């Protein structure tokens, strides 16, 4: 080739080389400089720009709760923050049926006390857990709390409390809102489960709530009295040495029988979260299980007779990640269930990325999903834990709140190098906690802010965390949504590991309308958990359901809350009760909470 064209190509190649070297820098620069809505704004500016603002007012509401973590066997002392990094949880309930939502919050140190914050209807709460018998539940030799879910298992009209622990599971019968009776032994629950999730749902449609409980550490381990240190996952992608999962069938007489393995729940992955929804629209609630150190699982409910695992063919279990959350929501107003799963994302170290699973072929007997988290802007949150869908600004599109951060230690020292060192090893090395380098007070994805992602209705979410006032430095675990003061908005409650319980009061622009429903089952379970409510308005359809536990270590209010945007009317609402009864409400009034009873 002649020398001159060769020189030209050489120069062009050099230019291209330099341009490509500059590409990452340019992307970082322009990403940082882009006019994102995450600059801090005043409440009025946030209200004007995003339609809502959040104000943290736990202290003013009389909530002064600080989570205390577990202190396990001294053999684990060198990595205690990592192995005991769970336990902060929050669940919403109206335990006394006064029409005002209350909060149950867990603590996790031996001897620490859980709190039941009763809503005093004046903007404040009082802790009545001690008086009602659900505070002193972290006693020595019984394990410590990891979370709680409420459901009316005996259909007496009052929601009962199931407390899952690294220890003895505890079931408390609600005595008409006046107190609680410990009924674990009578109910026939196991003596010990190292559980990190539980969900109430009526899997066989008999009108009585059943219970799924997900194990993290194997149930054989008493984490306070270990005989050895081989307690860690055997793999960081395909660990099968975690706790088993349980499915407790409600016998309708106050007792439960464990049917998990018989029903097809046989894996021993490290389960952190679970949620239910009827993903194939056959009328039965299906079950999604999010697993740490491995692939997730999607179980189709086959008429209450068996669960069939379809995670891989459904495309939700092809790549092992670090599943920590499971939340169903309808983000595109198509009347179908999307699923949000949080995972670890630590730039430059480990980028699993969150999953937002959207049905690819419509719903059917064999649902298949595509992960649109990246396309929709919700892939990277941090070391993400709990998340919930809810319409925070009542604009008619569900938004997403994700809480972040694992271990906040020394801000200058990170444990990630040691973590990456050990996790690459053979299972015999990593499964033994004795081989793990000491943490020595270092951070592991600590000091991360939560994320408030606003759904713009075009398939994109925008980070408005700082703008709406939700930035904080704590290690988040559980998020729950509830209309705490009956104002027609979703307030946000976040539980932080080794940190406070924060209560964000939501202020929403009055230009946006809303509609909410509180359901009471008759043929269905009394809590109506699993009921689907479809709202038709402005040419759109949005589906929501009554929550028996979702997110991570959390449970939202049992009401369903729809934002309507500027539309002051709706076409209809269709309720499909768990019994299968379908009820249509034409043009219900807006800006109000409707109480619906299941037709007999």
Partner 1 sequence: MKFDRSLTAPLVITLILIGAHWSYGMLRGYEAIALAVFSALGTELALRRFFTDQPHRLSSAYISGISIAILVRSPVLWPYAVGAILSVLSKYLLRVNGRHLWNPSNFGICVLLFLAPFAVAPLSVQWGNDLWPMLVIWAVGLNAVWLAKRAHITLAYVASFFLFALVRSLITDSSFLTEAAPITGPMYQLFALFMVTDPKTTVSSRWGAVAVVCLVAFVEMLLRLAEVIYAPFYALFLVGPAALLVERWRTSRARARQEPDARAAPSLSSHQT
Q: Point out which residues bind partner 1 (CB under 8 A).
A: 1, 5-6, 9-10, 13-14, 16-17, 20-21, 23-25, 27-28, 31, 234-238, 295, 318-320, 345-353, 374, 379-380, 414, 416-418, 420-427, 429-430, 434-437
**Cβ at position 233, least distance to partner 1 in Å:** 9
C-beta of 238 vs 485, nearer to partner 1? 238
C-beta of 430 vs 503, nearer to partner 1? 430
C-beta of 272 vs 430, nearer to partner 1? 430
Contact 520, 532 (CB under 8 A): no
**Cβ at position 311, least distance to partner 1 in Å:** 11
Two tokens, residue 22: 């500059």
**Residue tagged 């952190």 (tokens):** 272
Asked whether the CA dihedral 563, 201, 100, 593 is positive or negative, the reply is: positive
**Cβ at position 8, least distance to partner 1 in Å:** 9
C-beta of 182 vs 416, nearer to partner 1? 416
**Cβ at position 240, least distance to partner 1 in Å:** 9
Cβ partners under 8 Å of residue 347, min gap 6: none
d(C-alpha 101, C-alpha 593), whole Å: 13
C-beta of 320 vs 578, nearer to partner 1? 320
**Cβ at position 231, least distance to partner 1 in Å:** 16
Contact 223, 321 (CB under 8 A): no
C-beta of 126 vs 432, nearer to partner 1? 432
**Cβ at position 464, least distance to partner 1 in Å:** 20
Two tokens, residue 243: 């706790």
DSSP β-bridge partners for residue 346: 350
C-beta of 427 vs 523, nearer to partner 1? 427
C-beta of 76 vs 148, nearer to partner 1? 76
CA distances (Å), origin 470, targets 343, 418, 530: 21, 31, 30
**Cβ at position 232, least distance to partner 1 in Å:** 11
**Cβ at position 430, least distance to partner 1 in Å:** 6
**Residue tagged 């730039």 (tokens):** 347
SS3 44: helix
- Output phi, psi for 423, to 5 deg: -70, -15
**Residue tagged 């006032």 (tokens):** 469
Please provide the DSSP assignment of 477-514 as one string: EEEEEE-TTSSSS-EEEEEEETSBEEEEEEEE-TTSEE
**Cβ at position 324, least distance to partner 1 in Å:** 16
d(C-alpha 340, C-alpha 317), whole Å: 13
What is the b/e burial string over 446-457, where b = at least 16 CB atoms within 10 angstroms of the residue's CB?
bebbbbbbbbee
Contact 108, 67 (CB under 8 A): yes
Where does 189-321 show beta strands of DSSP type E? 193-201, 210-215, 246-250, 256-258, 270-277, 286-292, 297-302, 306-309
d(C-alpha 522, C-alpha 519), whole Å: 10
- What's the helix, strand, coil split of the chain in %, to 5? 15, 35, 50
**Residue tagged 């005996």 (tokens):** 154
Please provide the DSSP assignment of 74-90 as one string: GGGGGGHHHHT-----E
C-beta of 140 vs 347, nearer to partner 1? 347
C-beta of 73 vs 346, nearer to partner 1? 346
C-beta of 142 vs 315, nearer to partner 1? 315
**Cβ at position 560, least distance to partner 1 in Å:** 32
**Cβ at position 337, least distance to partner 1 in Å:** 23
């Amino acid at each position: 080739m002649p020398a001159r064209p060769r020189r030209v190509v050489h120069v062009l190649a050099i230019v291209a080389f330099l341009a490509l070297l500059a590409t990452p820098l340019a992307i970082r620069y322009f990403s940082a400089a882009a006019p994102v809505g995450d600059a801090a704004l005043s409440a009025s500016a946030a209200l004007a720009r995003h339609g809502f603002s959040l104000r943290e007012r736990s202290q003013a509401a009389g909530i002064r709760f600080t989570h205390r973590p577990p202190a396990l066997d001294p053999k684990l002392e060198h990595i205690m923050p990592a192995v005991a990094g769970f336990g902060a949880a929050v669940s919403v309930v109206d335990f006394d049926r006064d029409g005002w939502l209350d909060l149950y919050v867990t603590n996790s140190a031996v001897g620490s006390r859980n709190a039941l914050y009763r809503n005093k209807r004046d903007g404040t709460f009082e802790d009545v857990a001690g008086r009602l018998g659900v505070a002193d539940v972290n006693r020595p030799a019984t394990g410590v709390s990891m979370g709680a879910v409420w459901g009316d298992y005996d259909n007496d009209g009052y929601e009962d409390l199931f407390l899952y622990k690294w220890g003895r599971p505890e079931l408390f019968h609600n005595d008409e809102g006046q107190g609680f009776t410990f009924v674990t032994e009578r109910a026939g629950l196991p003596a010990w489960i190292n559980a990190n999730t539980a969900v109430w749902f009526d899997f066989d449609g008999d009108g009585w709530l059943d219970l799924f409980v997900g194990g993290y550490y194997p149930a054989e381990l008493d984490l306070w009295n270990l005989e050895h240190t081989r307690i860690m996952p055997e793999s960081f992608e395909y660990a099968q040495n975690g706790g088993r999962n349980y499915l407790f069938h409600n016998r309708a007489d106050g007792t439960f029988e464990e049917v998990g393995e018989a029903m097809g729940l046989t894996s021993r992955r490290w389960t952190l979260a679970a949620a239910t929804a009827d993903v194939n629209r056959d009328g039965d609630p299906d079950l999604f299980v999010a697993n740490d150190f491995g692939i997730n699982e999607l179980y189709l409910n086959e008429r209450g007779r068996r669960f069939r695992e379809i995670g891989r063919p459904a495309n939700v279990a092809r790549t092992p990640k670090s599943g920590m959350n499971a939340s169903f929501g309808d983000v595109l107003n198509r009347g179908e269930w999307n699923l949000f799963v949080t995972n670890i994302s630590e730039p430059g170290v480990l980028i699993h990325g969150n999953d937002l699973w959207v049905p690819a072929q419509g719903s059917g007997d064999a649902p298949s999903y595509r992960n649109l988290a990246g396309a929709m802007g919700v892939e990277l949150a941090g070391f993400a834990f709990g998340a919930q869908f809810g319409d925070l600004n009542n604009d008619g599109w569900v938004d997403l709140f994700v809480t972040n951060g694992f271990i906040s230690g020394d801000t200058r020292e990170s444990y990630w190098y040691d973590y990456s060192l050990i996790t690459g090893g053979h299972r015999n090395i990593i499964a033994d906690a004795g081989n793990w380098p000491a943490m020595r007070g270092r951070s592991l994805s600590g000091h991360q802010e939560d994320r408030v992602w606003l759904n713009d209705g075009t398939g994109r979410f925008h980070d408005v965390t700082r703008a709406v006032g939700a930035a904080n430095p704590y290690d988040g675990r559980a998020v729950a949504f509830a209309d705490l003061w009956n104002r027609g908005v979703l307030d946000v409650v976040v539980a932080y590991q080794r940190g406070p319980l924060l209560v964000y009061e939501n202020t929403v622009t009055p230009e946006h309308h809303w509609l909410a429903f509180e359901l009471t089952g008759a043929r269905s379970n009394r809590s109506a958990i699993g009921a689907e409510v479809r709202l038709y308005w402005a040419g759109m359809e949005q589906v929501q359901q009554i929550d028996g536990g979702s997110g991570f270590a959390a449970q939202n209010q049992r009401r369903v809350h729809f934002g309507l945007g500027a539309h002051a009317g709706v076409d209809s609402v269709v309720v499909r009760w768990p019994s299968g009864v379908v009820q249509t409400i034409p043009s219900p009034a807006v800006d109000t909470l409707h109480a619906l009873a299941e037709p007999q």
